[in-house]
Amino acid sequence: MCILFLYTDPSPPSDGYRLIVATNRDEYFDRPTASAYHSIEENIIGGRDLQPGKEGGMWFGVSLNKTLRLGSLLNVTGADCNGKGRGYITSNYLKGDLPAEAYIDSLPDEYSAYNFVTAELRLVWVGFAARTVIRFQAKPIRQSTTPATARARVRSSSAGRCWDLVTRLSTCRCRRSLTDEECSRR
C-beta of residue 2 within 8 angstroms of C-beta of residue 155: yes
Question: pLDDT band at 80, cuts 50/70/90?
Answer: low
User: Which one, of 169, 87, 175, lies nearest residue 130 by Cα?
Assistant: 175
SS3 49: strand
Provide the terminal-to-terminal Cα distance of the chain, rounded to the nearest Å. Answer: 17
Predicted confidence (pLDDT) at residue 186 exceeds the cutoff of 70: no
Q: Residue 120 CB: number of other CB atoms within 10 A?
A: 21
pLDDT greater than 80 at residue 149: no
- Widest pairwise Cα distance in the chain: 49
Residues 6+ apart with CB under 8 A from 62: 44, 45, 46, 68, 69, 70, 71, 94
What per-residue confidence (pLDDT) applies to 112?
A: 75
Query: Distance between CA 116 and CA 30 in Å, rounded?
Result: 23
Binned at pLDDT 50, 70 and 90, residue 165 comes out as: very low
